[in-house]
Structure 1
Amino acid sequence: MKKASLKGVPTPEERAPRLADLRMRKMARSAHAYVRGSADRFYAWLDSQASGTLPDGPPVWICGDCHLGNLGPLADASGRVAVQIRDLDQSVIGNPVHDLLRLGLSLTTAARSADLPGVITSRMAEALIDGYEQAFDDARTDETKRAERPTVVRVAMKQALHRSWRKLDRQTIDGVAPRIPLGKRFWPLSEEESQAVRTLFESQSGLAVREALGRAVRGGGKIDVLDAAFWVKGCSSLGRRRYAVLLDIDGTCSPGGPPCLVDIKQAAAAAAPRHVGATMPRDNAKRVAEGARHVSPLLGDRMLAARLDGCAVVIRELMPQDLKIDADRLTEADAVKAAHFLALVVGQAHAGQMDAPTRRSWLYELQARRPGSPGAPSWLWRSMVELAVAHEAEYLEHCRRYALRRGAGKR
């Protein structure tokens, strides 16, 4: 699995500064990109709020980083597709309002980045709370099933449903040869990393890993590691260990079948605050996997917590249907529908963890805080505005630091 060096592709020893620069550059692209990569700033703002300012919902597993890029079509091991939350790195047992606010902030900054008028943001806030409440109203079950998908969601679902293993291969790996091409997205591994990856899948200690694969290996089935590389992916996770691994399961690649593409991602401590008294796994990888099973079952059922060379990691097989919603496609005609639909998806993830009395109680509390006239409740609108203003200022300061850093590097 040793890689030949390529011009411009960093060695393992050169990764850290390159990743730090790439993360700063990604976050400088737009205010919405900054929001995606700064969950810690969101929770710093939450920590500054006086007690009782926001509704305190029943403790459930939450996403913890609920922005637009972390929602989209997901497939289970058999290929069944639904829109759910895609990333659970920050998942904790916490206040469900935190997910709603983070989604509201993401929608607000996406609308501003798309130059949509402010009145659209006001209407999105109203749609956001209405879609979220709908998930807890048992009387609106049929309405929930018929929820209208906005264009951005329909496009993503259409792409997901028509995406094949072969198309995933073309977009991620070399066409015929089962190899990961080094370059902008994939960097070489050290000898130690290569050995650790191979041991994880091919040793007897890797039996639990085999059971987690979508195309599970039963009995004494054989797994061969065909190739592996460091994966330059995401934004907030840049700087952590992340690997793409190609596996051959029981020789399925030899007659021309697709390899199994696995994502290995280091699990770090969550910035999202946990509910006082909540019992969660102390191991960060086990926390992420457990949160996924509660919040996004299609994803959680094909994830596994493991140790890679002493490091807590989450392993999952990538499915062709796994896609994120493209926030750049957000239009004035679609923004309000997107707010309602995505809030409903998040609400369903929370509601599925509550019994009927708890759902009714939480719905009553939310509705009690709403004004008698149409519009978003004051706590939601005020929070979305304050968060947008704070993040805009922080984004501009981030851009300034990045520009100064780039300027210093050229001298």
Structure 2
Amino acid sequence: MARNLKRLIGALAISIIVCTGVQAATSRPSFVVSDIYNYNHPYAATDSGDLATKMQLMSASAFYFYRGTADIFYRDTTTLPASSYTSNATGFTWIGGDAHLSNFGAQRDSGGTAAFTTDDFDEGYLGQYVWDLRRAAVSMVLAGRENGLSDSQITSGINTFVAAYVTQINSFAKGNGEASFQLTSGNTSSVVKDTISDANDGSRSDLLSKYTSTKNGVRTFQNASNLVAVSSANYTAISNAVDNYIQTISSSKRYAASYYAIKDIHQKLGSGTGSLGRLRYYVLIEGPSTSTSDDVILELKQEASSNVALAAPGQLPPAEYGSNEGERVALTNKAQLLNTDVLVGYATINGAPYYVHEKSPYEEDFDYTQLSSSSKFSTAMTYVGQALASAHALADQDYNSAIVPYDIDAQISAVANSSGLQTEISSFAFSYADQVNLDWQAFVSAYNAGTPLY
């Protein structure tokens, strides 16, 4: 009771400001450069190559810059006007924290159903539900403009997104519909349906052929520019970490020990945007049989504290996730998805936390560049809104009441006026997109001038 009271006070502190409008965009090159340097420099000694890739990607477009600077968004959240459509209780929403368009996608669940969902959990934390709506809507402005859509078309898409979110939340609040709701090829259309179909059409043989090869009946990783061998010391450290990772999987979902037998380990380079600079490893394991055709690739991804904590410090106490950021990410995955990957877990390698899951053959990233017309854009935003509502509704007291002490869909439903929230989110999105563009221009100038950025 004392712990929940303390956290309730924290939620009050982040939601008492009344939203009176949005702040004007401000040129702040010194802040942008110093923030990017300070955020990325801790990883320079271990993965400078990926940091160089990250800076190159971020210089390419405002959308990629936005993807790589979630910390700036949450630093700004501490000073930007709060929403008029929140309450103390909605401050305990288990948000994904980085809900831009490229963090949605399709994958088969553990039951074999391909569904469209949120698919990135690195920033998972407790905060106001509107923070996910805001971050997603800003990405819609940036992506829509990049795709040549007009601001009025983008506004329509944002309004569709917010309405779909609120409608779905209201539906969940009336019962327990989130326990069975999924976006599949049977209830979607257009680009989202195509994404689901592409995920479902994946094959293990194609995935293994992409990253591995066999010789004399033994499968190992290929050596490539983005997939490199690790030192013997790191091989041993990762092998030991995998042994401990197995124990983080629920005993009811754990396979026989032979399933996890390690066949090879390589470092993966160049994946992601915001997480570039943190180490990532692929571990090839035996899988269900001794045949090389059903080998499994585990992805071990180094994690850091959630940037959402910049806006809501202590809202998700480290004790809830064993003070291991990999466990926090794994918990978010399990909380926000139905029938999640049974290989989800966490590990510690050389003192650093890692999130572990399968590199699945049956997953497909959502390609926002395909949203080239107003109709495609708005149709897709319906499903993005529903997917986000599903993630929030699943991750509440029904999953773990010690972390989220509310039926969060009911709490959001009580305050989320659809038309008012549409106006608020749309206004915020365009205003903050202007700030992102100014920040990106400052970054590009520094990047082109050779200013140290990590």
| 1:406 CA drift (Å) | 9.0
| Contact 2:249 2:344 survives alignment (8 Å) | no
1:252 has 2:290 as partner? yes
| Contact 1:94 1:275 survives alignment (8 Å) | no
1:199 paired residue number: 240
* Larger CA deviation: 282-291 vs 70-79: 70-79
| Contact 1:75 1:298 survives alignment (8 Å) | no
The 3-state SS of whatever aligns with 2:213 is coil
- Name which of 28, 32, 36 aligns with 2:59: 28
Residues of 2 paired with 1:122 and 1:206: CA distance?
45
Residues of 1 paired with 2:44 and 2:393: CA distance?
46
* Larger CA deviation: 171-180 vs 104-113: 171-180
Residues of 1 paired with 2:315 and 2:396: CA distance?
18
The 3-state SS of whatever aligns with 1:126 is helix
- Name which of 392, 396, 399 aligns with 1:350: 392
The 3-state SS of whatever aligns with 1:240 is coil
Give the alignment of 1:132-147 within 5 angstroms. 132-138=165-171
Residues of 2 paired with 1:397 and 1:298: CA distance?
43
Long gaps (5+) in structure 1: 1-11
Aligned residues: 385
- Name which of 385, 407, 412 aligns with 1:362: 412
1:341 paired residue number: 383
| 1:175 CA drift (Å) | 6.8
1:111 has 2:111 as partner? no
Give the alignment of 1:286-297 within 5 angstroms. 286-297=327-338
1:396 paired residue number: 441
Residues of 2 paired with 1:212 and 1:166: CA distance?
29
Q: Which amino acid aligns with 1:42?
A: F
Residues of 2 paired with 1:149 and 1:80: CA distance?
14
| 1:137 CA drift (Å) | 1.9
* Larger CA deviation: 180-189 vs 90-99: 180-189
| Contact 1:263 1:315 survives alignment (8 Å) | yes
Alignment CA distance shift 1:163-1:358 (3 Å)? closer
The 3-state SS of whatever aligns with 2:220 is coil
Deviations 1:228-253 (A, max 9, x none): 11111111111112101111246523
1:70 has 2:103 as partner? yes
- Name which of 158, 162, 169 aligns with 2:197: 158
Task: Return the TM-score normalized by structure 2.
Answer: 0.76
* Larger CA deviation: 354-363 vs 56-65: 354-363
Residues of 1 paired with 2:142 and 2:214: CA distance?
38
Residues of 1 paired with 2:273 and 2:44: CA distance?
20
1:386 has 2:399 as partner? no
Deviations 1:102-157 (A, max 9, x none): 11111111111111111111101210110110112227979x87995342211111
- Name which of 123, 131, 134 aligns with 1:101: 134
2:112 paired residue number: 79
- Name which of 263, 276, 282 aligns with 1:226: 263
Residues of 2 paired with 1:35 and 1:277: CA distance?
24
| Contact 1:88 1:291 survives alignment (8 Å) | yes
Residues of 2 paired with 1:251 and 1:107: CA distance?
44
* Larger CA deviation: 293-302 vs 349-358: 349-358
| Contact 1:73 1:156 survives alignment (8 Å) | yes
The 3-state SS of whatever aligns with 2:294 is coil
| Contact 2:85 2:416 survives alignment (8 Å) | no
Task: Return the TM-score normalized by structure 1.
Answer: 0.84
1:172 has 2:172 as partner? no
Alignment CA distance shift 1:313-1:357 (3 Å)? closer
1:45 paired residue number: 76
| 1:286 CA drift (Å) | 1.5
- Name which of 313, 319, 336 aligns with 2:354: 313
1:121 paired residue number: 154
Alignment CA distance shift 1:145-1:243 (3 Å)? closer
| Contact 1:59 1:275 survives alignment (8 Å) | no
| Contact 1:150 1:341 survives alignment (8 Å) | no
Q: Which amino acid aligns with 1:225?
A: I
Alignment CA distance shift 1:244-1:365 (3 Å)? same
1:8 paired residue number: none
* Larger CA deviation: 273-282 vs 344-353: 273-282
The 3-state SS of whatever aligns with 1:302 is coil
Residues of 2 paired with 1:148 and 1:79: CA distance?
17
Residues of 1 paired with 2:390 and 2:248: CA distance?
29
| Contact 1:266 1:314 survives alignment (8 Å) | yes
Alignment CA distance shift 1:93-1:357 (3 Å)? closer
Task: Report % sequence identity.
Answer: 18
| Contact 1:66 1:100 survives alignment (8 Å) | yes
| 1:52 CA drift (Å) | 5.2
Residues of 1 paired with 2:117 and 2:364: CA distance?
10
| Contact 2:101 2:366 survives alignment (8 Å) | yes
| Contact 2:200 2:363 survives alignment (8 Å) | no
1:9 paired residue number: none
Residues of 2 paired with 1:46 and 1:265: CA distance?
27
1:149 paired residue number: 188
| Contact 2:326 2:355 survives alignment (8 Å) | yes
1:239 paired residue number: 277
